[in-house]
Every structure is written in C-alpha cells, then in structure tokens.
Chains A and B, each alone.
Chain A
Amino acid sequence: MIDLEAVRADTPGVAHCVHLNNAGAGLMPRAVIDVVKDHIDLEARIGGYEAKAQENERIEEVYASVARLIGADKSEIALVENATVAWQHAFFSQDLKEGDRILTAEAEYAANYIAYLQMRNRTGCVIDVIPSDASGATDCEALEEMIDDRVKLIAITWIPTNGGLVNPAAEIGRIARRHGIPYLLDACQAVGQMPVDVAALGCDFLSATGRKFLRGPRGTGFLYARAEMLKNTEPYMLDMFGAEWIKPEVYQMRPDARRFETWESALALHLGLGAAADYALDVGLDAIKTRAFPLADSLRRELAALPGISVHDIGADKCAIVTFSHEGVPAEVIAGALREKNINVSVSGPTSTLLDARARSLPDLVRASPHYYNNEDELKTFLEALRNITRS
C-alpha cells in the first residue's frame, strides 16, 4: 500500500500542477531534485572532476541501484544520456549483413524504426513486422512462425508510446532464447511503472530512460547488456572510456557494459537517476503498478463515458498510459487548453508510431499518463476540465 500523502509530500510539483504526463517526463521527487542540485553546486564550488572524485562511491552506487531495479548485475549496466542513445548503442552494435532479418512490432517507436531504416540502407538487412493478435499485442505464434536462420535480431517496444498496450515481452523472450536470437527490448515506458526482471524477460539488451515513470531527471538513460552478450558485442562507437588505448596500434575494450558509455557525462544527472531508482525501489514496484494501473483503468472508464470521446488503448492488460481523441476538438487544442489550467498531458502524433497509426487510422491522440502519486481529485479536475473544453 502506498502512503499517498507521503509520496505527494515528497513531490514539490504536485502543488503547482496536475501532472498527467508521466509517460513524457514524471515529476521528480525531492530526493532526486536535491541530489542533482547539490552535485551541480559542488561542481561549481570545487570543480567537475574533483566533485566526481569526492562522490565516486555514490556514483558507483547508481549502477547498483539501476541493476536492482531490473534484476541485473551492476556490471551489466551502462549509464548514458537518454534511452535513445542506450537503444542505439545496442542496436548499431549488431553486426547485420545483407538479407539478415530484423523482427519488430507493429507499434514500434519512430526513433527505433528510423534506425532500422538507416541500418537497412547501410547493410541491406530486412525489416519484418510481427503481426499483432486480436487484442492488438505482438502475436507470439506469428512470431514463432516467422523465425528462420536469417533472423538476426528481435527488437520490440514493450510499451509503445501511443497507448496502454503492454506487449508480451517475456513470451517473446522465450522464443528468442529458444532460437538463440539476440533480443533487444525497448523498456522506455515500462521501467518505473511496474516490476522489471531481465531474467524473466529473457532479453539480451534492455534500454530505458530516467525521466518518465522512473521520475528521474531528463538527460538520463541506461542500457542493460546481458553478461554473456558482452563477450561478442563491440559497441558501434568507442572512446577512451569504453576501451583502453594500450599500444599505439591496439585498444582493449572494458569487460563490462560500460564499454557503451563515453568518458564525459553529466554526473549530477546520473546521481539523480540513482536517487530515482532508489526511490522507486523504496515505494515498491509492485505497489506502484498496483496503484498506477487501476488509476489509469478508472480514467479510461470515465473517458469512455464522455460524449464524443474515443479511448484508443489496445491490448488485454493495459498500463498507466491512456490515449483518447475527441470527435470535434483536435488533440493539440485539448492539450493546450488543459495546459492553461496547469493540467499536463501530451499529444501523441501518428508519426511517433507510424505503422500502428496507419493500420488503425489514428488521429493525433491526447495522452494522459497518471502515476502512483496522482490522486483521485486530480483525475476529477482533469475530467471536469476536459468536459468543459469539449462541450464548447
């Protein structure tokens, strides 16, 4: 059970807005804000590297915290500046050749799909989309049938950006494992809103962001790379942090996942990410899911009852992302009007998940993503405002 008053008291932002954009960037708890602010101040006082030396143990602890969050070992974690960079570093390190197949999901995120297209242009590999089942999720039977020895990567988004869908990540993992196919899981919208266990998922790489449901600072992300995968994965790009320059003609990669990192980073933000992971672990990921998912469900029910509103979430089990549209008022107008009342939502346009948006003929969607710290009053405020906006 979450102590709602306590978590709200920990969140300065709730005094200033109704924040229902946790799938965009969650409101940071005070523990996160303080650690970032303090480290920047420390850097200003004693210098960047000197601050790093002083806080070295805490910086190391961030790896352990992030690892705990997803059931990994800290040697399997790389901290980077965002989820896209984490994902790209895993993806572009795959040695794909002409005719090799990448299997992906229908609701794949635009940034990833653009990278597939770039890889296709570069190597001649093939992008194949796994069909969705009747509920709208990735169809694992269809996936099984698609497998042949040319499939060199399965890369899917666990929870797409444009709705409540939760793809069957662990089932896909079992298929990938059975066939020995590398499996890259984009968990950007999953980490922080529900328990994540890389062993149960069976993924080889998992990428995530700090700023969304995990409530960390913007400009943070991480990559998990399974220890066994590291043995034969060389990052697409290396610098003197990922590898040592041991002889004029020889470099040697780091043994751990930090080979995907670069020398320079914003350590204040890393510390904030660690604080966010610790905070989520303290609250409890089961407890978070148990509060956030039903909150979203009740929102869906209320929205469905409003005249002119269509809820567009697909999938059997739905997460804390709710998307809808109104028959007469465009999503941008709704989001803008809500913003004037200090209610934060976001708009998910068709190009962020182009294949799915085309298949379902989706318009711009309003995305409301509550989190465990939101309360029922805030949802009422949001619904009331929405009624007024769509009535006129």
Chain B
Amino acid sequence: MADFDVSAARADTPGVAHGIYLNNASCSLMPRAVVDAVQDHFALAARIGGYPAASKEAPAQEAVYGSVARLIGAGPQDIALVESHTRAWQSVFYGLAFSEGDRILTSRAEYGANYVSFLQMRKRTGCVIEVIPDNNEGAIDCQALEKMIDDRIALIAINWIPTNGGLINPAAEIGAVAKRHGIPYLLDACQAVGQMPVDVERIGCDYLTAAGRKWLRGPKGTGFLYVRRERLADTEPAMIDDVGAAWHAAHAYELRDDARRFESHEHEPALRLGLGAAADYALALGLDTIRSRVRELAEGLREALVAMPGITVHDLGSERAGLVTFAHESVDAGAIVTALERQNICVKAVPREGALLDTVARNLPVLVRISPHYYNSEQDLEHVLTALRESL
C-alpha cells in the first residue's frame, strides 16, 4: 500500500528496534503514546498518591469511554472498562439467567475460555450448548443458524475472529438473525478490535467484548464491554459491587443506568489511560487503513507460505483477517517457533485446546500463528520467510 506510512508507525513503536514481532494476535507492541500515557500516570500516582492522581486526571479518564465508544460506533454510556476481555465476556455471560433446556448457540471455532464457561453453565443450570454448522468456506452458516432458531434459544454467543486462524465469521449477518428473533447476541470481538473497523450498529450485537492488548496495541490488563442500551434494562451483571449499584436502602440496591454497572470499584487508571491512548492512536490512523494494510501483509504471507514445500496453511473463510496459521508436514509447531525465536522473530504456537471443537473437527495439529500488524514491514515478512525456509 503506497499511502501507508510504515516508517512513521515504526518510529512510534519502540519494540521494533528489538526484533521482528509477529505475535500481534496475542499481545501487540504498544506505541510510544500508550507507553507514555501509562508511565506518566503511574509516575504521578507515585508522586502525589493514587486517588489525588486519579482525580487530577479525571477528565482524561472520562475521555477514554468516548475514545473506546468511537472505535466501535457506540456511545460512551454503552461502554464498561474492565481488566480483560475475559472479565468483560464473563460479566455478561454469567449474569444471564439460563434455565434447564435453554439453548446456547455458538460456533465451532469458539474460544476455549468461552466454551469452558458454557460447560460450567450447562453443569449448573442444565442449559444446552449447540454448535452452529459451518458453511463450505468454514464460516458460520447463517442459513443453518436461521433453521436452528426456536423459542428455547437463550443466547447466541460466537467468536467473530477465532484464535486459531484467519477466519472472519459473518458477525453482521448473525446479528440480523438475532435481531429478527429478539435473541440476545454476545459477540467476542477480541481478535477484531484494532485490526478492522467495528460498528455495533451494523453488526447488531447486544454485547461486544474486546481486549486492549491485542490488535488495539493497548496495555495488558485492559478490556472493555459494549452493552446495547435496550438490553441494559434486562441485564444484571454477574457480580455487582458499589460501582455497579448504589446502596441507598438497607435491603435494596439500585443498578447504575449505564454500562458501567459491569465495572468493579477498583482499577488502575494508568492502564485505562493507556487503553484510551491506544484507541485514539488507532482512530487517528484509521481502521480502514489498518485493515487494508493488515490484509495485504497477511495475504502476501499466506501466498508465500502456500508455495513452500511441506507447509499447509489452515486459514478458513473467504475474507481473512491478520491471523495466519500453518503447519509443516514433519516439523512440529513448537520447534518452528523456537527456531524463529533464536533469530529474534516472535510468532506463536496455537495450542489445540484454544479452539478444541474446531481442532477435533479438522484434525488440526498445533499450528504456528503469524499475526502481522500494520507497523510490520515487508522486510519483517521476508525475514520470517527466509528463516522458515532455512530451518525447514
């Protein structure tokens, strides 16, 4: 892409000086603006105390809600800031009331953490977990979904982009089905936010969860939750404290009237400010621009990998995200990751249980996952391909 200024993006990223980082689907390298936002607030808290620092920077903290909201086309009052994607997802999921026989519809490539929660809920309530079939491209089959709908469906909960490959599920089409039938729709956007435009209105999801540390390039220990206003009235968080609700009368509490009812009392403002800086940074670059660049890098990488002897690329779907996964016929993923690591190239081996149903269905081995971001250079990819050719 001619108009993307990769050298500017790299100049903003201290980490690129230390190696070739291609693990953005796990945890990206923070841009300097994020690092500074975290460090500056933390230093202020060390100097004048945690709460005085927080009140001094209250407007900046409040602005984080606006930044995150802009990132996904929501309003600031629809956003809860929490400590991780999992916390965001769990505080919604475990707050929903399931009864015996209620059906949860999910995807085959569902993330392990979510699926463990489904299993726990099934054990606790007797609800039923059902997997929506895939279409012939490997994405969720929306026609099949439509046929599964009946009045026992309590939730549709899916991964937009699974952890184990480039697949992008048709989140908006699913949203249209959910909306038509009035079924709550919880979208795990952990791998989507930061690598492409996200618009909750277009998607039609009721809840959307994401992490700060992945494609958004925020600090670890940050995540957020979006809750559609119309759903707020009938969604009580799984665990409430005195931020989520006010204790006015001895025997009653009153829930907050915005999405912050899902937050917990105490947090580290430095990390939140880092999350806000990450959202602002992504918005300034433009999510469309980011998506084009990521797509171009990932597709180029896939093409080159496919051409390499002994390598099979395992990414599904017609339109693919920045997660590139592959395996070699004889060298296992762990050995490949270690060999690359020795050359200061960081990629990731995706464990089979990350998306166990999909692993079993497709009989997948442990996969090598390379996840380039916009700040990665063409040379980064040449290096990793050269290193792969040499080590295999």
Q: Mark A85-118, 1 if CB is under 8 A from B, else 0.
A: 1001000100000000000000000110111011
Nearest 9 CB-CB pairings of A with B = A266-B221, A219-B268, A25-B50, A48-B27, A82-B266, A264-B84, A111-B241, A239-B113, A81-B83
Q: Which residue of A lies closest to B46 (CB)?
A: A33
Given contacts A82-B264, A111-B241, A266-B221, contact A13 B356 (CB under 8 A): no
Q: Which residue of B lies closest to A351 (CB)?
A: B247
Binding stretch for chain A, among B13-21, B172-180, B193-201: B13-21
List chain A residues, Cβ under 8 A from B236: 118
User: B49 within 8 Å of A by Cβ?
Assistant: yes
- Chain A nearest CB: distance from B4 CB in Å? 22
- Chain A nearest CB: distance from B110 CB in Å? 10
List chain B residues, Cβ under 8 A from A6: none
**A218–B94 alpha-carbon span in the complex (Å):** 26
Report whether A219 and B246 are in contact in the complex, using a CB–CB cutoff of 8 Å.
no
Given contacts A82-B267, A266-B268, A339-B52, contact A49 B27 (CB under 8 A): yes
Q: Which residue of A lies closest to B341 (CB)?
A: A50
Binding stretch for chain B, among A138-146, A190-198, A245-253: A245-253
Q: Mark B257-268, 1 if CB is under 8 A from A, else 0.
A: 000000011111
**What is the number of contacts between chain A and chain B, taking CB atoms within 8 Å?**
244
List chain A residues, Cβ under 8 A from B252: 117
Report whether A267 and B220 are in contact in the complex, using a CB–CB cutoff of 8 Å.
yes
User: B161 within 8 Å of A by Cβ?
Assistant: no
Q: Mark B19-48, 1 if CB is under 8 A from A, else 0.
A: 101010011111010110011001101111
Given A47-B28, A84-B241, A237-B117, 13 more pairs with CB closer than 8 A: A21-B49, A25-B51, A27-B46, A46-B18, A114-B253, A118-B236, A209-B266, A211-B50, A217-B42, A236-B94, A236-B238, A249-B119, A264-B221
Report whether B116 and A245 are in contact in the complex, using a CB–CB cutoff of 8 Å.
yes
List chain A residues, Cβ under 8 A from B246: 351
Q: Mark A261-281, 1 if CB is under 8 A from B, else 0.
A: 011111111000000000000
Report whether A28 and B46 are in contact in the complex, using a CB–CB cutoff of 8 Å.
yes
**A41–B253 alpha-carbon span in the complex (Å):** 42
User: B87 within 8 Å of A by Cβ?
Assistant: yes
List chain A residues, Cβ under 8 A from B238: 92, 236-237
Report whether A17 and B116 are in contact in the complex, using a CB–CB cutoff of 8 Å.
no
User: B248 within 8 Å of A by Cβ?
Assistant: yes
Report whether B83 and A265 are in contact in the complex, using a CB–CB cutoff of 8 Å.
yes
Binding stretch for chain B, among A70-78, A224-232, A297-305, A352-360: A352-360
User: B8 within 8 Å of A by Cβ?
Assistant: no
User: B223 within 8 Å of A by Cβ?
Assistant: yes
User: B387 within 8 Å of A by Cβ?
Assistant: no
User: A171 within 8 Å of B by Cβ?
Assistant: no
User: A221 within 8 Å of B by Cβ?
Assistant: yes
List chain A residues, Cβ under 8 A from B266: 81-84, 209, 211, 218-219, 221
Q: Which residue of A lies closest to B117 (CB)?
A: A238
Given contacts A40-B38, A244-B353, A265-B220, contact A27 B49 (CB under 8 A): yes
**A342–B48 alpha-carbon span in the complex (Å):** 8
- Chain B nearest CB: distance from A238 CB in Å? 5
Interface residues of A (CB under 8 A from B): 12-13, 16-17, 19, 21, 24-25, 27-28, 33, 36-37, 40-41, 43-50, 81-85, 88, 92, 110-111, 113-115, 117-118, 209, 211, 217-221, 234, 236-251, 262-269, 339, 342, 344, 346, 351-352, 354-355, 358
Q: Which residue of B lies closest to A24 (CB)?
A: B51
List chain B residues, Cβ under 8 A from A242: 116
List chain A residues, Cβ under 8 A from B244: 114
Report whether B241 and A48 are in contact in the complex, using a CB–CB cutoff of 8 Å.
no
List chain A residues, Cβ under 8 A from B113: 239-241, 262-263
List chain A residues, Cβ under 8 A from B117: 237-239
**A49–B368 alpha-carbon span in the complex (Å):** 16
- Chain A nearest CB: distance from B269 CB in Å? 7
Report whether A41 and B35 are in contact in the complex, using a CB–CB cutoff of 8 Å.
yes
- Which one, B49, B267, B356, B357, contacts A81 given CB within 8 A? B267
Report whether A219 and B221 are in contact in the complex, using a CB–CB cutoff of 8 Å.
yes
**A217–B53 alpha-carbon span in the complex (Å):** 13
Report whether B268 and A218 are in contact in the complex, using a CB–CB cutoff of 8 Å.
yes
- Chain B nearest CB: distance from A253 CB in Å? 10
- Chain B nearest CB: distance from A356 CB in Å? 11
List chain B residues, Cβ under 8 A from A41: 35, 39
Given contacts A21-B51, A118-B240, A263-B84, contact A47 B29 (CB under 8 A): yes
User: B2 within 8 Å of A by Cβ?
Assistant: no
Can you list 14 A-B pairs, Cβ within 8 angstroms, ordered by A?
A: A46-B346, A47-B15, A47-B27, A85-B239, A92-B239, A114-B244, A115-B240, A219-B271, A240-B116, A242-B116, A264-B211, A268-B220, A351-B246, A358-B250
Q: Which residue of B lies closest to A262 (CB)?
A: B86
**A220–B270 alpha-carbon span in the complex (Å):** 13
Most buried by B among A85, A209, A264: A264
Given contacts A45-B18, A84-B264, contact A115 B241 (CB under 8 A): yes
Report whether A251 and B119 are in contact in the complex, using a CB–CB cutoff of 8 Å.
yes
- Chain A nearest CB: distance from B219 CB in Å? 7
Report whether B253 and A24 are in contact in the complex, using a CB–CB cutoff of 8 Å.
no
- Chain B nearest CB: distance from A223 CB in Å? 13
- Chain A nearest CB: distance from B337 CB in Å? 12
List chain B residues, Cβ under 8 A from A243: 116, 120
Report whether B251 and A239 are in contact in the complex, using a CB–CB cutoff of 8 Å.
no
- Chain B nearest CB: distance from A207 CB in Å? 12
List chain A residues, Cβ under 8 A from B50: 24-25, 211, 218
Report whether A240 and B51 are in contact in the complex, using a CB–CB cutoff of 8 Å.
no
Report whether A239 and B47 are in contact in the complex, using a CB–CB cutoff of 8 Å.
no
Q: Which residue of A lies closest to B267 (CB)?
A: A219
List chain B residues, Cβ under 8 A from A117: 247, 251-253
Report whether A37 and B267 are in contact in the complex, using a CB–CB cutoff of 8 Å.
no
Given contacts A84-B265, A114-B241, A240-B112, contact A248 B357 (CB under 8 A): yes
Report whether B248 and A351 are in contact in the complex, using a CB–CB cutoff of 8 Å.
yes
Report whether B47 and A16 are in contact in the complex, using a CB–CB cutoff of 8 Å.
yes
User: B242 within 8 Å of A by Cβ?
Assistant: yes
**A267–B32 alpha-carbon span in the complex (Å):** 19
Report whether B46 and A40 are in contact in the complex, using a CB–CB cutoff of 8 Å.
no
User: B392 within 8 Å of A by Cβ?
Assistant: no
List chain A residues, Cβ under 8 A from B120: 234, 237-238, 243, 251
Report whether A354 and B247 are in contact in the complex, using a CB–CB cutoff of 8 Å.
yes
- Chain B nearest CB: distance from A35 CB in Å? 11
Q: For window 79-112 of chain B, which residues contact chain A by CB distance below 8 Å?
A: 83-87, 90, 94, 111-112
Q: Mark B291-308, 1 if CB is under 8 A from A, else 0.
A: 000000000000000000
User: B375 within 8 Å of A by Cβ?
Assistant: no
Q: Which residue of A lies closest to B254 (CB)?
A: A114
Report whether A47 and B46 are in contact in the complex, using a CB–CB cutoff of 8 Å.
no
User: B115 within 8 Å of A by Cβ?
Assistant: yes
User: B213 within 8 Å of A by Cβ?
Assistant: yes
Report whether B220 and A43 are in contact in the complex, using a CB–CB cutoff of 8 Å.
yes
**A117–B236 alpha-carbon span in the complex (Å):** 13
List chain B residues, Cβ under 8 A from A118: 236, 239-240, 253
